[in-house]
């Protein structure tokens, strides 16, 4: 049975799924494949087909998805519905035509300018702050990375896949279930002990900020050959008072004062000590006061 706010039945959705092929695939991850789902009425969605689950998933799948489906926010990719059958576990989300931040940063020739990057950082921060501070129960994302930040046609950022890591991972093998591309984002205490908190999300957000500023993935080959990741690279540059060199040379319109503010914020977020990291609510406050103050105060307000 299909659950959600869309006017389709499970039969309608499964029928569409049967006609899909590789041309319809818009993403793939550790838990399944994402398809572009075009319904007969012209509406388009993103359909995630779950293929990897833990043994106890069926016991609480519906309950958890009901909670996630109730979470709506301007800076989140909204879950519109789900289908839980013996043969398929399907999640249907709003479709965002801009694709993922990972694709835009690393795979497309057109570069994001400075203002676009700042706007994306702020949008991602607001989405994550909402999950941490305004949801009941609060939601720890556990998998903040550029491929989980999606962009609409105006390059507004939205956080996607919130709640899925907790729902689908095997808690006893938390590291082995994480796809390789995620490791550069993980806080050291999560790598060591496997306990996710708001502060492990904050660390991942700090890594994301560095990725957006530099245009380099956290485990870029240029870091690896030096025995570093992006956080280690920042610390190396900071030790030589060369932090500004982290910025992407292809980025147009860089403003040094806002760059300095963002680097200061990122360093706080990726502190090795969780208690020294700010909350995401505080991150949004710092971004709005130190980075985007030239903008009208109501420009970025949440809906």
Has residue 300 been placed in a domain?
no
Has residue 295 been placed in a domain?
no
Last residue within a domain, chosen from 51, 72, 94 = 94
**39: closest CA among 49, 31, 47?**
47
Q: Answer yes or no: do 86 and 129 share one domain.
A: no
CA distance 74 to 126: 9
Domain boundaries, position 27: 2-94
The dihedrals phi and psi of 13, each to the nearest 5 degrees, come to: -70, -45
Q: Answer yes or no: do 119 and 85 share one domain.
A: no
Could you list the active site residues?
Answer: 143
What pLDDT digit, counting tens, does each position of 116-151 carry? 999 999 999 999 999 999 998 899 999 999 999 999
What pLDDT digit, counting tens, does each position of 170-216 carry? 444 444 445 545 889 999 999 888 889 999 999 999 999 999 999 99
The DSSP-derived string for 226-237 is: TT--HHHHHHHH
pTM of the model: 0.89
How far CA 60 is from CA of 64, 196, 206, in Å, comes to 6, 20, 32
What pLDDT digit, counting tens, does each position of 246-274 carry? 999 999 999 999 999 999 999 999 999 99
Annotated binding-site residue? 52: yes
Element (H, E) at 84: strand 79-84
CA distance 292 to 122: 9
Contact of 126 with 280, CB cutoff 8 Å: no
The dihedrals phi and psi of 138, each to the nearest 5 degrees, come to: -65, 150
Q: Answer yes or no: do 31 and 127 share one domain.
A: no
């Amino acid at each position: 049975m299909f659950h959600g706010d869309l006017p389709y039945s499970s039969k309608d959705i499964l029928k569409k799924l049967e006609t899909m092929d590789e041309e319809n695939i818009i993403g793939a991850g550790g838990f399944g494949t994402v398809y572009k789902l075009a319904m007969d009425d012209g509406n388009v969605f993103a359909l995630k087909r779950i293929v990897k689950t833990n043994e106890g998933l069926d016991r609480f799948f519906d309950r958890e998805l009901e909670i996630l489906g109730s979470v709506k926010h301007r800076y989140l990719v909204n879950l519109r519905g789900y289908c839980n059958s013996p043969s398929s576990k399907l999640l249907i989300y709003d479709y965002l035509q801009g694709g993922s931040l990972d694709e835009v940063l690393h795979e497309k020739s057109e570069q994001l300018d400075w203002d676009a990057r700042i706007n994306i950082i702020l949008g991602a921060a607001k989405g994550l702050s909402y999950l941490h501070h305004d949801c009941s129960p609060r939601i720890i994302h556990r998998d903040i990375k550029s491929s989980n930040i999606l962009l609409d046609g105006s390059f507004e950022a939205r956080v996607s896949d919130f709640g899925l890591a907790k729902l689908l991972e095997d808690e006893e093998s938390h590291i082995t279930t994480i796809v390789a591309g995620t490791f550069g984002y993980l806080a050291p205490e999560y790598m060591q002990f496997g306990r996710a908190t708001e502060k492990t999300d904050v660390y991942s957000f700090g890594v994301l900020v560095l990725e957006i500023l530099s245009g380099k993935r956290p485990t870029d080959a240029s870091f690896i050959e030096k025995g570093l990741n992006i956080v280690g690279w920042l610390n190396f540059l900071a030790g030589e008072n060369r932090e500004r060199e982290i910025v992407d040379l292809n980025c147009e319109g860089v403003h040094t004062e806002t760059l300095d503010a963002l680097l200061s914020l990122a360093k706080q977020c990726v502190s090795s000590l969780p208690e020294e990291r700010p909350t995401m609510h505080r991150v949004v406050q710092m971004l709005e006061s130190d980075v985007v103050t030239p903008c009208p105060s109501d420009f970025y307000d949440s809906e």
